[in-house]
Structure 1
């Protein structure tokens, strides 16, 4: 700020740089959705990690705020892209009981305190950028270790490569070589709909009544979740008491909120839908409490803090549940597209949240209640995915039969490919 005199009449520049970075994140989330499904999970993920290293390195040597802003756009773009491509790639390698864990692990909440420590140890922003570069280098070596998704290779008709990955996983888990004949069966199913294994587009997310309804409801949920989450974060400045303590508490509460969702998200009578819906209900109750407390005398202002903490806890829990739920709703052929679009919509929600908070008083909490009430009804109409195998093609999405895990490569039942089995009523 002081190096480029970003104060007084130039103060707008610092806010512009932040906006530029957020715009980059939005574009990155949107673009990587297509790239992940077109070029593969592995190449897309490590390409953006390499670009991240380049952008950060150039940023460290920036000699003007214009160049710095351009690099922040790039950093925001690869940051938004990383979140979108990494999660779908991860769940395609694990079985049903582990997918919820990947969504609930509080990566951001655990990393945030370390970020504060690093900035304390490296107060010079250039030194901080150099540190990020050094940390990023080992990540790139993962390209030579992590295999491509078997699911993606299969639906692209690359059976030989998919078989090699399956054999490699079996070998590393000290299991006998798996029967990969099922891969050709899945590829043939995709070939029957898409003879050239050509890439799908964003239009395909809205093609067909069932797929379109899933997509629209997912988009609304991610938009609403982002609005609520960022309203609660931005609202910290309006809470009574010490700002830094409030911000710390609102941030640290995400860790237990993310982990505790594991207690019920895999339960038979709860699942993904009710995990998100119940979290929405708690958010709504917390917002109602904040409205009531806001209308009382200022001596009761700490009640607002309590209600906001409750809503933040539930909001994080709901989002942790919605992350695996979203990836499980889409077939492999468009999973990255679907997840990428959801991430893009959430960025729009984050932008909208700042406008909601500008209303001031209790009005933001009123809007939160309305959004959450609609979202709760919407979520409960989505198909439950708990205990269901991941769909690979659009044919799987439109089938009334149940997908059963058939292809396992270790004793824990970590499945790689799922095949349809007729339900009892079809026998």
Structure 2
């Protein structure tokens, strides 16, 4: 009895069928990159100070009414207070000159009772200036980011089981539509509360369609094409959207205009429905053999190969290690992941890895406004550095054992973030370079982790397990904005936390099974219990002899 990969070997690995699906699935992740970190510009905080109403003040008092404070050794205009307007108005009317006739430190201060004046040097408009999310309302900025990631968290929690139950394709397109629709509705938000609610709903579709596209490609492609897709394909599509984001934001510089572009961009993907098929592997796992055969026959026609008369069914038996149409596989749920001992152990370790890498990835990505005076340039550089990260992950997945390579990049990320605090303040370019190196390492590990997770779990629970890991990752992304706020206590504290978690990731990885050059497991019984680091120079026979129970494929 053949397994799925053997049965569909007749299609080849890189025919017209695979090429079309590869392109459209990769393109489907561009909106994820475009919308994932849009909050950097939607909630950008422009320079501001208390608004001074049109009262009769002399030129000297107009300049002096805003207090100057020393921050980080430099004089900065106060953003949240002013000298009492009634007192200043009386002093101005009497002809007193600030600094000469009046000692400003003796004057009483008050809050910005008339609102704020926002600089338009960098942003024309953001939700911060729209809804006055400053001073006592400053907490709403990181909370807005967390609201979005909570939406992504919720979407991850439900999209996995829904995808395993109803299919990869429906979840992929439904979540794209959700993301597009609620992003557009945000433009008409009358208040920060309404904006936040819609931002949460938009987040429901953000990572859900990414995971669905990732798993769909993982199950359709084989061999090296699968590795290229998982490490380069979907990630390059994501980073293209990520690099487009600061370009759109720079030319628009208005939060409503940016949301229009982000939402309408999703309209491009509606025609993809007729071009992307359902996963035949998933259909077989549900006992829907005839539907899987239709897709494989269409693929054979596109690739100009001859399909046998019976692809999956011969003399009443399915030529695959999956399931017969008359006996569909039972539906697994989250409890099945934690009930079995070795699966539970693997899952808990993966939870730690996903939490660590996503906290570091999100934290470093959101920190773009603090790296350089120009947030557009900083965001673009943080996006560009992901390109070599994905190429590195592809090479590592292709030739190196999973545990060795994932531990290596985690250590590199930890060391980079640790030594930033040792660098002199007179060399800011070096600090930025080290943070970019940390982003490179953590992004590389993040990309590898998606592949590693998909390789460890069987088809029946692959999307559910990946979705659960994504839920843990969203928890990390939710608290990342608040971790960055710790820089007001100690500016190195966020990097130290992210570096420590990267080090924990490096250590815990060695306790996972090895999936290097192993076929995808189809059942819970085939899921590896433990493994060892495999040297790429060892022959396949030597690799599989002691620890592999399934035939090597990749």
Q: Deviation at 1:43?
A: 1.1
Q: 1:323 and 1:144, CA in 2 relative to 1: closer, same or farther beyond 3 A?
A: same
Query: Where does 1:180-199 land on structure 2 (aligned, <5 Å)?
Result: 180-181=312-313, 183=318, 185-188=320-323, 197-199=329-331
Structure 1 position 342 matched with structure 2 position 342: no
**Rounded Cα–Cα distance in structure 1 between residues aligned with 2:221 and 2:185:** 37
| Cα distance, 1:49–1:363 mapped onto 2, change above 3 Å | closer
Q: Does 1:367 align with 2:497?
A: yes
Asked whether the 8 Å contact 1:154–1:183 carries over to 2, the reply is: no
Higher relative contact order (CA 8 A, sep 6+): 1
Alignment of 1:294-313 (within 5 A): 297-300=424-427, 302-313=429-440
Taking a change above 3 Å as real, the CA distance of residues 314 and 422 of structure 1, as seen in their structure-2 partners, is: closer
Residue 383 (structure 1) aligned with residue 513 (structure 2): yes
- 2:448 corresponds in structure 1 to 321
Choose 240-249 or 302-311, whichever is displaced more: 240-249
The offset of 1:149, in angstroms, is 0.5
Question: How many pairs does the alignment contain?
Answer: 398
Question: Hey, what does 2:413 align to over in structure 1?
Answer: 283
CA distance in 2, matches of 1:201, 1:77: 20
- 2:149, 2:477 within 8 Å by CA — same for their partners in 1? no
Unaligned runs of 5+ in 2: 1-126, 532-547
Structure 2 distance, partners of 1:62, 1:364, is: 32
Contact kept, 8 Å, 2:152 with 2:204, in 1: the verdict is yes
Paired position in structure 2 for 1:37: 164
TM-score, normalised to structure 1, is: 0.82
Q: Which has the larger radius of gyration?
A: 2
- Structure 1 residue aligned with 2:345: 213
Match of 1:255 in 2: 387
Does the aligned pair in 1 maintain the 2:243–2:380 contact within 8 Å?
no
Q: CA deviation at 1:242?
A: 6.3
The structure carrying a bigger helix percent of its residues is 1
Measured at CA, do residues 95 and 10 of structure 1 come closer, stay the same or move farther in structure 2, by a change above 3 Å? Answer: same
Which residue of the partner structure matches residue 246 of structure 2?
A: 116
Shift of 1:356: 3.8
Partner of 1:332: 459
Of the three residues 176, 182, 185, the one matched with 1:49 is 176
Aligned to 2:11: none
What corresponds to 1:410 in structure 2?
none
Q: Which residue of 2 is the match for residue 204 of structure 1?
A: 336
Q: Deviations over 1:98-132 (max 9, x none)?
A: 22322332333222222233334545544444434
Call closer, same or farther: CA 1:70–1:354 in 2, change over 3 Å: closer
Contact 1:287 1:311 in 2 (8 A): yes
Where in structure 2 are the equivalents of 1:235-250 lying within 5 Å? 235-236=367-368, 239=371, 245-250=377-382
Counterparts of 1:190 and 1:278 in 2: how far apart (Å)? 44
Aligned-partner Cα distance in 2 for 1:238–1:320: 25
Contact 1:99 1:324 in 2 (8 A): no
Deviation at 1:367, TM superposition (A): 3.3
Kept in 1: contact 2:186–2:198 (CA 8 A): yes
Of 366-375 and 273-282, the range deviating more from structure 2:
366-375
Moved more, 240-249 or 297-306: 240-249
Structure 1's unaligned 5+ residue stretches are: 402-419
Kindly state the Cα deviation for residue 266 of structure 1 after the two structures are TM-superposed.
0.9
Shift of 1:327: 1.1
Deviates more, 1:104-113 or 1:56-65: 56-65
Cα 1:175/1:318, change in 2 over 3 Å? same
Change (3 A) 1:273 1:189: farther
- The offset of 1:304, in angstroms, is 2.9
Distance 1:132 1:84 in 2: 20
What TM-score comes out, normalization by structure 2 length? 0.65
Show the counterpart of 1:6. Answer: 132
Query: Partner of 2:76 in structure 1?
Result: none
Q: Is the 8 A contact 1:190 1:197 kept in 2?
A: no
Query: 1:315 Cα shift?
Result: 1.1
- RMSD of aligned alpha carbons: 3.1
The alpha-carbon distance between structure 1 residues 377 and 123, as it changes in their structure 2 partners (threshold 3 A), is closer
3-state SS, counterpart of residue 284 of structure 1:
helix
Secondary structure of the residue aligned to 1:299 is coil
Q: Would you say the 8 A contact 1:103–1:324 is kept in 2?
A: yes
Change (3 A) 1:362 1:398: closer
Provide the rounded CA distance (Å) in 2 between the counterparts of 1:283 and 1:5.
37
Distance (whole Å) between structure 2 residues aligned to residue 246 and residue 134 of structure 1: 25
What's the CA shift string for 1:119-178, capped at 9, x where partnerless?
345455444444344322231222222111111111111111111111111111111115
In structure 2, the partner of 1:177 is 307
Q: Does 1:230 align with 2:357?
A: no
Structure 2 counterparts to residues 344-359 of structure 1, below 5 A? 344-357=471-484, 358=486
Provide the C-alpha distance between the structure 1 equivalents of 2:379 and 2:328, rounded to a whole number of angstroms.
52
Cα deviation for residue 271 of structure 1 reads: 2.7
Change (3 A) 1:37 1:423: closer
Whole-Å separation in 1 of the counterparts to 2:324 and 2:525: 8
Q: Does 1:144 align with 2:270?
A: no
